[in-house]
Amino acid sequence: MTLTHKPLKFPQDNLAHRSIIEWWYFNCNVKDAYGKKYSLMTCLFKANNKKVNIPLLNKLPFSTIYFSHNQLTNISNKKFYSVINPLSIISYDSFTRNLLYINYTNPSLKGYLNCAIEEVKPNVFHVKNIFSDLILTSLKKPLLLGNTGFIKLNKKYTYYYSFTKLKTNGYIFIKNKPIKVSGTSWMDHQWANEPYSKDKWVWFCMQLNNNTEIICFEYDDKIKKTYFATINYSAGNQKTFSDVKIVFTKTFWKSPKTGIQYPLQWNIEIPQANVFIQTTALLKNQEMIFGEIIYWEGPTHVCGTFNNRKVTGNGFMELVGFSAEKSKIEIFKSELQEQINNIFHIYIKKFVYQKFPLIKKFSKLYRK
């Protein structure tokens, strides 16, 4: 089934669509009252279980499945936290309102946690999960990639739009401790009748200090590379470019889990827009592993020139489909062992420490 282009309408197209794959993605760059910097990413995926064919999940008796990925980076302390939920349970009243409303939870030994992605009023979103409880208010109209929000990637078509500048306020949570923050977020909503699971791409979003935002990427379906950039100018006009140069520098990080070598600094040139940008990862270890889908995702520092004027800004980078040195079996065993260790740690905290508080006290003294 091939997608046919229909003009996007808001807020209707914030809702779910009949497609093979769809996701609601947010990233945030925020600060606390002391100026400490943090970043977050959360993404809820909706997939046709028979067409996407994710191992193990494809055995479930559901035509549609949901799963979520979450990460939090303490940039100031250089610490990274991530949680991948292979199955998310959606409430029966999700997608029943005129505005976007998704209420879900992720099965966990820790117990029940209510998560939400909801549009509380037009262009104002409430995002709640294990790492955050935030209100995101759009300061600009949606950015329609390709100027229509419907783009061709070689032989594949996808709907794709972004809210590029979301004023952000609320709380993040590190080890269940709430921290009040404020800053700026970005939202992507994409849906397609293609699984994309075997493709490769490098993707960047940038929020510049001249009130301009840029989304650009190199997409590789192993047949042809497609280069793409759309700029959201300060005056509100948008323009798309296909003449985009995206080149990595000699800055790399090699994952000890997968053996993948990720380029962490890139030079981006959009000649027709007179844009020359360098984007650099703020932390090295930001790898996410979800079965056969392995990617790097994290915050970046942006600097360069825009119309011959110096600019700086915040951004996010996503690197997907890079070749692993280690076999899938090795990676799976490593991840499984880590999950078992986490489950054992949760069990100790939840049951043993409650029944034997002296063990908990001794454990704290030992860690000191």
pLDDT tens, 53-78? 776 676 777 889 999 999 999 999 99
Calculate Rg over the CA atoms of the chain.
21
Residue range 257-267: mean pLDDT, rounded: 95
Other Cβ atoms within 10 Å of 77 Cβ, number: 11
Which residue from 66, 131, 71 is spatially nearest to 104, judged by alpha carbons?
Answer: 66
Query: Which of the two residues, 38 and 337, has the higher pLDDT score?
Result: 38
Residue 126 has pLDDT above 50, yes or no: yes
d(CA 13, CA 1): 19
Query: Band of the pLDDT at 339, cuts 50, 70, 90?
Result: low
d(CA 349, CA 259): 33
- One-letter identity of residue 364: K
What the chain holds in terms of domains, given with CATH numbers, is 19-320 (2.40.370.10), 332-367 (no CATH)
* CB 67, CB 42: distance < 8 Å: no
Residue 258 has pLDDT above 60, yes or no: yes
Distance of CA 237 to the CA centre of its chain: 26
307 SS3 class: coil
Other Cβ atoms within 10 Å of 252 Cβ, number: 13
Indicate the pTM of the whole model. Answer: 0.90
